[in-house]
Homo-oligomer: A and B are copies of this chain.
Amino acid sequence: MKDIAELSGVSIATVSRVLNNNGRFSEETKEKVLKVIEETGYQINYSAKTLRMNKSFSIGILVPDITNLFFANVVEQIEEILFDKGYSTIICNTARDAKKEKAYLSVLVSKLIDGLIIISGADDFEFEHQSAKKEIPYVCIDREPKDKDRTIFISSNHYQGAFEATENLIANGVKHPAIVLHKKSSSSSKERFSGFKDALKKNNIDFSNEENTLFFHTNKQENKTLLKNFVNDHPDTDGLFTVNDNIGLDIILFLKELNIDVPKDIKIIGFDNVPTCEYSNPTLSSIKQDTEKIAKKAVSSLIKLIDGQTEDKGKIYLLPVQLIERESSKLQ
């Protein structure tokens, strides 16, 4: 800027005004300055700007696993919107590791990020606003904040999705549905669980943990055995709602090995609508989340908070989901 000022024969202050279009300069100087800027290929120094303005024009995103397609889609779309608004995004892959999450939060605070978007995660999110510093606005996607009044919570309607999936199974003739899920569960999979249970209740099917739930681990081989035992112990089972598509897809393979036909013997519906659903055999029915809406809502909510509009604080946005029917749940 000093160079620009000298080359165009004005003061540094004027250069700054022109750069930020703050008014208080003549058309003539403006052109002079912009010309020099053009020629020199000047690039603003954001550190200095940040230091001075206490605003970094960057937003942090905390995501458990960027290789998960659902997350990747949301992140991609958030990033695009933010980019258009002049913010850059710092994507932090926490690898579902609480320690790493803490470390990242600390780095983000140090970088004076203007806002934070939290995507999913094992337990409720807590932001320990260190010291009396300016509080950093944040919004949560698919993960409940501990401090609900301070932030905005955006989530797909997991309950509704699970409910619809289960009712669809029943409508297609399933008499003994079961849910397959992981033991340690996020707020969203808890919602899915209760959607499943309520659908049974509504359809007068008794629910018991023993008969209607199967808990998977993370190891594939182990899960294969768990499934085998489950269908042995509960041979009536004729429909499975799997808490996500990865589980559903694995089960399709497992059942093939057990010579159990999908959908004739057992119907399956997953959750997330990952691309693989279209390539499996049979193709996997699933619940599709509206990643675009989620991303848009998250960004607009966050921007509001950043701009000091507090009227949405404490709000919860539940976004609708959509059942995508494919072969795995079809009536024969």
Chain A residues close to B by CB (< 8 Å) = 40-48, 50-51, 56, 65-67, 69, 72-73, 75-76, 79-80, 83, 88-93, 95, 100, 103-104, 106-107, 109-112, 130-131, 133, 249, 252-253, 275-276, 278-281
Contacts and interface: CB of A to CB of B under 8 A. Distances in A.
Contact of A279 (B43, B95, B253): B253
B51 A80 contact: no
A279 B249 contact: yes
Nearest to A52: B47
A110 B276 CA distance: 40
A51 B43 contact: no
B279 A46 contact: no
Contacts of A45: 51, 110, 112
Given A42-B131, A66-B76, A72-B72, A112 B47 contact: yes
B44 A47 contact: no
B112 A46 contact: yes
15 contacts: A41-B130, A43-B106, A43-B133, A45-B51, A47-B112, A48-B51, A65-B76, A66-B76, A67-B73, A83-B104, A89-B91, A252-B279, A275-B276, A279-B280, A281-B281
Contacts of A133: 43
Nearest to A53: B47
A122 to B, nearest CB: 18
A147 to B, nearest CB: 17
A90 B75 CA distance: 13
